[in-house]
Amino acid sequence: VTAGAGGGEAWVFRHDPQIRLATAVRLTEDQMLALLSSVSCPSLALFASDGYHGDASVRAARLAALPSLVDCRQDLPGAHHLHMTRPEAVAPHLLAFLDRLQRGGAA
């Protein structure tokens, strides 16, 4: 959250440009679970119906490892880059999540 136009607050989305670089480092599942368990900010998980599904038990374990998971929606219509190709499917869930946070309902 940052100062917005007119002095109010506004959400600002940022990303790390290095995330687009190829990497030779792949996390083990134990490392992935440790990383997820260290996330302290409120989290929203959205999964596309035609995305990378992987093993259902792995997905469940990863979601369970997120102590800050506020909401999870699975099988939204779309593919891996759901937020770019189907923003209309993502927007209502993202807006509801942000509204819940604004009202103090993160936990």
Cα three-residue angle 79-22-55, rounded to 5 degrees: 45
Rounded CA gap, 51 and 85, in Å? Answer: 12
Q: Is the pLDDT of residue 97 over 70?
A: yes
Residues 3-59 have pLDDT tens digits of: 666 667 777 767 777 667 777 788 899 999 999 999 999 999 998 888 777 788 988
Above 60 in pLDDT, residue 107? no
pLDDT given for residue 21 in this prediction: 72
* Predicted confidence (pLDDT) per residue in 64-83, tens digit: 999 999 988 888 888 888 88
**pLDDT given at position 41:** 92
72, 93 Cβ separation under 8 angstroms: no
Backbone Cα Rg of the chain: 16
For residue 2, what pLDDT is reported? 61
| Residue 1, SS3 per DSSP | coil
Question: Helix, strand, coil proportions of the chain in percent (round to 5)?
Answer: 45, 20, 35
Using alpha carbons only, give the angle 33, 93, 42 rounded to the nearest 5 degrees: 40
pLDDT, residue 105, reads: 67
Q: What is the 3-state secondary structure (H, E, C) of 20-32?
A: HCCCCCCCCHHHH
